[in-house]
Amino acid sequence: MAKSLHQFVLDTLRSPLLDEINFQFGHLRVYPQGLRRDVARLVAHRHIEVTSDPARVYGPGARVDGGCFVVDTPRGQRHPLFVNPRWTFDRGGHPYVRPLSEYERAELRGTIVHEATHALHDYQRLGRVRPTAAEGAAYMAGAIARRLFGPRPAPAIQNPRLNGITYSLHLADRYLAADRHSRYVIPSQDVVELERRVSAGSENRYIFNGI
C-alpha cells in the first residue's frame, strides 16, 4: 500500500536504526535524539513541511536534482523539506512514495536523513556555519542511514575519492565497523577530505537561526 511522503519521512526519522547515528564532524554534532525526537516532532507538527513540489522551494518552473532543506526560511515560518519528485506520485494533491526497490528506499531514506541533519542544526540555532562543514556532516549522516536501511552486505566502494557521495559511503562503512561505545569523532583528515568533495551552496544559505 502506498505511503504518503509525510508519513515515510516520519517513519524514517523515528526508526530505531537511527540510534546508530551518533558522531561529531568538526564542531558539528549529529545524534539520535536530535533526529528521532526533535526533528521528527517538527515534521509531525508541520513546522517542517515535507514537499516534492519544486515550486514550493525554488519558484514556478523550477527543476532540481536532489533534496533540500530551506535553512534560510525565517524563524517561525514552515520550513520546507524538499524530496525530489522522481520518488513520488500525486494522490489528491499530496505526494505519495512510489513503489521502490530496496536500494531505492535506502537511497531515499539517506536523502531524508541528510536533509534532517540540516534541520537539526537549524533547530540548534548554530548561527553561521561553513557551507562545506554543514554539508559534510549531512553527507555523513545520510551515508550512514543509507547503509543502515540498505541491503547487507553493502557493495564495496571501488573509488572512494571520486566525489562526496562515494567518500561519505566509504566513511560510513568504516564508522559502522568501528567499536563505538560513545559519540564517534570523525578523524580530522577525513573531515578535510570529505569537505573537499561535497557540493555546497552559497554562505547565506547556511545561517542556522532556528525553526
Bridge partner list, 54: none
Cell numbers found for residue 155? 557493495
* Number of other residues whose CB lies within 10 A of the CB of residue 211: 22
Supply the mean pLDDT for the chain.
95
pLDDT of residue 171: 98
pLDDT in tens, 190-204: 999 999 999 999 999
Which residue stretches of the chain are H helix?
A: 5-14, 32-33, 40-44, 54-58, 102-123, 131-149, 164-177, 188-197
The pLDDT profile of the chain, 211 residues, written as one tens digit per residue, is 899 999 999 999 999 999 999 999 999 999 999 999 999 999 999 999 999 999 888 778 777 778 999 999 999 999 999 999 999 999 999 999 999 999 999 999 999 999 999 999 999 999 999 999 999 999 999 999 999 999 988 888 999 999 999 999 999 999 999 988 778 999 999 999 999 999 999 999 999 999 9
